[in-house]
Structure formats: structure tokens, C-alpha cells
């Protein structure tokens, strides 16, 4: 059972996390719609913001921050490793089969 | 035989705390849900990689006007707010407050339903403008719509867009039903039935959701089998485990929203 006694007195932190997530979303919308950066840089910035948001959701809303260290690290490392493997398998192959048309990347 | 009986008795009468502690320090249902979510994240990861693969190596369309971005932003706010109400439901369940657990679960379901309805309206609008894939019912406006050329020239866009967002919409729908079953148990079954049958007759036949609504029929069957074969009163652990699933659909949208919508805004 999750340890309710530890967290029940700190409900306000969840409201702060919710507020932070809404603010980060608003920043993403402004950056995206105003086309503040060129596409590759935009992708990098949006992905970094998304990773921060997902860390807040996993850590606080899903309570992983409060789980045992073994569970925390096992889940994070295994999923991250799978994504890294996917990246190294998919994208070099994508480049080999379908080269970017005359260097045109993100449109 | 005597040894077996002795061992059996030894297990049965062992003192509390004599067993080995769980490896992850959590109950099995929670570990099971985390493992499912880890595997499901790879499903979405593969779909997002497929989207990005096509996005990088294709002259990608940017069809989302301010109305679509506004709609998707409201949908994001709905999901984020639903996660907060879900946390409140878990707290209420942990202090055995059944009334407030139901209220907070109901609020979470309301936000989730708002997300599905807004997403359905967005899909209907895009399909009406001509963004379709083979097999979709097409309204009369689709052939001459603004996005008809996109579907013809860059079929990867509607294929990856609908594939990714449909998978997510299905997860949100399953999440709303899951929370409904946890909150209301067998009394939620008639609600699913009414939504399924009502939706089928009310949604026009040239709309994709006229057929998509049958997912509710399947959900009704699965929920009924679970509830009748194993009727139980769902406790705080069940609410927490359902919460993990719900936060996961929120988490996935945090990647879909910027990658699919914000990276494809209409350049003016």
C-alpha cells in the first residue's frame, strides 16, 4: 500500500505540479505557434519541455518519486534503454532507405 | 507425504513477516500495472518513432490552424486537470472516504470524456476538410476540402496522425471505462450500453465514429465478464492502480501534443 500518511499532508505540492504543467504547456503553445525557433531547434526545445513534463507526471502524479529506489531505477533505466535501442535501430536505417531529398530535412 | 503435510503446515502457521519482502516494496497489482505501462510506452514509442521517421524524410504538411491548436490546448488542459482529480481520488480512497472517491473519479471521467468529445470534433473537422485514409467513410465535403491534396500527396501524414491519435483516444476511452467500473462497478454497465447504442443511432453514418462507437460494445462485454466472474468492492489499491493507468494516458499526450500538433502549425 502506498504510504498515505507521508503524502496526505502535502496535497498542495500536487497543485503546484499541476500549475507547473499548465505553464509549461502554455510555453510550448506560444513557442510552437509563433515559430520562435527553426524546426530542428524547435523539436529539441519541445522535446526537452515534454521530458520535464513527463518527469513531473511520473514522479509526482504516478508517485514513482516515493517508491523504493530499486523499482524507480529498474523502470526508468529499462524503458529509457529500450527507447535508445529503438532510436539507434530505426533512424540510421531510415536514412539509408529514404535519404533526405536534397538535404531538406524538417519542413 | 508426511513431509509434504509438515511443510504445508509450516507455511500455513508461519508468523507474519516471515516471508521474504516484495522485491520492489510494492503490492503485486501495482508492480503488474507498472510493467504493463512500461510495455505500453514502447507501443507509443514505436508509433511516435514512425511519425518522426516520416516527419523528417517527407515534405511534411502543416495543416493545423489556430482553431485546431486552441482545441488541442484545451484538450491538454483537460487531461492535466484530470490527473489532479485522479490524485485526489487516490487520497480519498486511502482515507476510506467512498463518497469523495466517487466524486473525484467522476470528475476525472468528466475531464476524460471532454477530451474524447473534443478530439472527436477535431477528427470530424479534419476528415470533413479531406484528411482521410483508405477505408474511412468520407463526407461530401472531403473530396474538395482544403486537406484533400495532403491526403493524396502525403498519405503518410493522415496515416501516422490517425494511427497515433486513434491509439491514444482508445486508451483514454478504456481509461474512462476502467474508472467507471472502479467507481460504480456493475451499475456502470447500463451507462456503457446506453452510450454505445445511443451513439450508434445518433452519429451519422458518414462519420467515422458511427463505426468507432462499437469499441464501447466490446468494452461492455469485457467489463461485464470481469464484473460477473469476479464481483468485488474495489479498494484503495485498485483506485491507485487505475490512477497509474490514467496518468499514463496523460503522459503520452504530453509527447503527442507538441510532436503532432505544435510541430505542424499552419505557417502564416
pLDDT at B11 (0 to 100):
46
What are the residue boundaries of the structural domains of chain A, listed by start? 7-66, 68-107
Angle, CA of A56, A57 and A59, to the nearest 5°: 65
Contacts of B237 in chain A (CB under 8 A): 1
Is A35 in contact with B45 (Cβ distance < 8 A)? no
The H or E element containing residue B95 is none
pLDDT of B71 strictly over 70 = yes
**Closest residue, chain A, to B254 (C-alpha):** A50
Q: What is the DSSP annotation of A23-87?
A: HHHHHHHHHHHHT-S-HHHHHHHHHHHHHHHHHHIIIIIT-GGGS-HHHHHHHHHHHHHHHHHHH
Q: What's the average model confidence in pLDDT over A64-71?
A: 89
Q: How far is CA B100 from CA A1, A92, B86, B121, in A?
A: 19, 52, 11, 31
What are the residue boundaries of the structural domains of chain B, listed by start? 29-264
pLDDT at A27 (0 to 100):
96
Q: What's the average model confidence in pLDDT over A9-14?
A: 82
pLDDT at B26 (0 to 100):
80
Query: B180 or A89: which carries more pLDDT confidence?
Result: B180
pLDDT at B213 (0 to 100):
93
Name the minimum distance, in Å, from the CA of B113 to any CA of chain A: 19
ipTM of the prediction: 0.86
pLDDT in tens, B83-134: 999 999 999 999 999 999 999 999 999 999 999 999 999 999 999 888 888 8
Topology of domain B29-264 in CATH is 1.20.120
pLDDT of B246 strictly over 80 = yes
pLDDT at B231 (0 to 100):
79
As a whole number of angstroms, the distance between CA B77 and CA B85 comes to 12
pTM recorded for the entire structure: 0.87
Query: B1 or A14: which carries more pLDDT confidence?
Result: A14
All 3 cell numbers of residue A54?
A: 513527463
Is B154 at the interface with chain A, CB within 8 A? Answer: no
Buried b (16+ CB within 10 A) or exposed e, A22-61: bebbeebbebbbeeeeebeebbebbeebbeebbebbbebb
Q: How far is CA B96 from CA A14, A67, B48, B109, B236, in A?
A: 20, 22, 40, 20, 7
Is A32 in contact with B251 (Cβ distance < 8 A)? no
Residue B62: pLDDT band by 50, 70, 90 thresholds?
confident
pLDDT in tens, B24-50: 778 888 999 999 999 999 999 999 988
As a whole number of angstroms, the distance between CA B258 and CA A42 comes to 10
pLDDT of A46 strictly over 70 = yes
pLDDT of B5 strictly over 80 = no
As a whole number of angstroms, the distance between CA B105 and CA B125 comes to 30
pLDDT at B142 (0 to 100):
79
Least confident residue range of A19-23, A53-57, B57-61: B57-61
Residue of B113, B151, B110 lying closest to B130 (CA atoms): B151
pLDDT at B60 (0 to 100):
82
Is B31 in contact with A71 (Cβ distance < 8 A)? yes
Cβ atoms of residues B117 and B159 within 8 Å: no
Amino acid at each position: 500500500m502506498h504510504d498515505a500518511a507521508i503524502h496526505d499532508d502535502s496535497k498542495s505540492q500536487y497543485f503546484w505540479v499541476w500549475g507547473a504543467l499548465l505553464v509549461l504547456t502554455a510555453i510550448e503553445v506560444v513557442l510552437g505557434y509563433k515559430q520562435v525557433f527553426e524546426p530542428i531547434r524547435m523539436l529539441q526545445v519541445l522535446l526537452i519541455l515534454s521530458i520535464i513534463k513527463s518527469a513531473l507526471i511520473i514522479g509526482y502524479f504516478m508517485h514513482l518519486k516515493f517508491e523504493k529506489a530499486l523499482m524507480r531505477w529498474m523502470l526508468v533505466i529499462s524503458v529509457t534503454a529500450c527507447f535508445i535501442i529503438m532510436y539507434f535501430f530505426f533512424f540510421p536505417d531510415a536514412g539509408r532507405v529514404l535519404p533526405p531529398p536534397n538535404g531538406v530535412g524538417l519542413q | 507425504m508426511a513431509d509434504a503435510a509438515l511443510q504445508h503446515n509450516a507455511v500455513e502457521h508461519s508468523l507474519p513477516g516471515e516471508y521474504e519482502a516484495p522485491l520492489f516494496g510494492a503490492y503485486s497489482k501495482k508492480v503488474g500495472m507498472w510493467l504493463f505501462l512500461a510495455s505500453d510506452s514502447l507501443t507509443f514509442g514505436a508509433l511516435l518513432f514512425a511519425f518522426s521517421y516520416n516527419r523528417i524524410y517527407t515534405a511534411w504538411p502543416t495543416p493545423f490552424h489556430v482553431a485546431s491548436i486552441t482545441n488541442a490546448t484545451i484538450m491538454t488542459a483537460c487531461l492535466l486537470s484530470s490527473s489532479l482529480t485522479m490524485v485526489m481520488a487516490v487520497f480519498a480512497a486511502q482515507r476510506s472516504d467512498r463518497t469523495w472517491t466517487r466524486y473525484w473519479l467522476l470528475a476525472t471521467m468528466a475531464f476524460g470524456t471532454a477530451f474524447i468529445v473534443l478530439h472527436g470534433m477535431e477528427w470530424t473537422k479534419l476528415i470533413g476538410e479531406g484528411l482521410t485514409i483508405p477505408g474511412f467513410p468520407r463526407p461530401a465535403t472531403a473530396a474538395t476540402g482544403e486537406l484533400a491534396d495532403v491526403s493524396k500527396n502525403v498519405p503518410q501524414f493522415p496515416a501516422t496522425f490517425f494511427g497515433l491519435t486513434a491509439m491514444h483516444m482508445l486508451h483514454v476511452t478504456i481509461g474512462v471505462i476502467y474508472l467507471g467500473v472502479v467507481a460504480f462497478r456493475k451499475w456502470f454497465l447500463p451507462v456503457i450500453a446506453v452510450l454505445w447504442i445511443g451513439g450508434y443511432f445518433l452519429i451519422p453514418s458518414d462519420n467515422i465514429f458511427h463505426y468507432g462507437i462499437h469499441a464501447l460494445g466490446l468494452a461492455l462485454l469485457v467489463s461485464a465478464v470481469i464484473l460477473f466472474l469476479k464481483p468485488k468492492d474495489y479498494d484503495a489499491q485498485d483506485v491507485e492502480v487505475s490512477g497509474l493507468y490514467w496518468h499514463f494516458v496523460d503522459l503520452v499526450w504530453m509527447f503527442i501534443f507538441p510532436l503532432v500538433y505544435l510541430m505542424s502549425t499552419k505557417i502564416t
